[in-house]
Amino acid sequence: MVIALFEFRLRADLDVAEWEQTFERMVALASEMPGLISFDGYAAPDGTQLAVVRWESEEALQTWKDHPEHVRAQGRGREAFFDEYKVTVASSVIREYGSQRTEDAVHSSGA
C-alpha cells in the first residue's frame, strides 16, 4: 500500500465555484482509477486541509499523478487555488492497528 498525504491551504481570493467543480471532478476521476483504495478528507480549524489517499501500489499512484486531466488540475491549483501545499508519499507501513466498537459489542456487554 502507498499513502499520499496532500496538505493544503486555500487562497483567500479563491474562485470557490471553480475550486468546488475542480475538486469534485478530481474525486470522481480518482475514484475510477485502478488501484485506489480510499480517499478521506479532513479540515482543521485554522483552515489547513488534509487529503489522505491510499493506493494499492506506487504504479497506481503514478498513473493518477500523470493523468492528463489531473496534471491540468495540479497546474490550476498552483496558479489559483492553493496558498500553500505539501505532498507526502509513504510507501512503507511500519505498523497499522486499531479498534472498532460494534453494535453487537455494545448490546452483549452484560445484562
Q: Model-level pTM?
A: 0.82
Give the end-to-end CA distance of the chain in Å, rounded to a whole number: 42
Task: Return the HEC string of 23-90.
Answer: HHHHHHHHHCCCCEEEEEEEECCCCCEEEEEEECCHHHHHHHHHCHHHHHHHHHHHHHHEEEEEEEEE
Mean pLDDT of 49-56: 97
Residue 46: CATH number of its domain? 3.30.70.100
Q: Is residue 103 part of a domain?
A: no
Q: How many domains does the chain have?
A: 1
Q: How far apart are CA 80 and CA 70, in angstroms?
A: 15
Question: What type of residue is 28?
Answer: A
Q: Would you state the cell numbers that stand for residue 106, as one nine-digit string?
A: 455494545
Q: Is residue 76 part of a domain?
A: yes
**Structural element, H or E, at residue 21:** helix 16-31
Q: Which domain holds residue 84?
A: 2-91
Q: Is residue 108 part of a domain?
A: no
Which of these ranges, 53-62, 82-91, 101-110, has the smallest mean pLDDT? 101-110
Q: Is residue 53 part of a domain?
A: yes
Q: Is residue 97 part of a domain?
A: no
pLDDT at 38 over 80: yes
Q: Is residue 99 part of a domain?
A: no
Q: Is residue 105 part of a domain?
A: no
- At residue 4 the predicted structure's pLDDT band, cuts being 50, 70 and 90, is very high
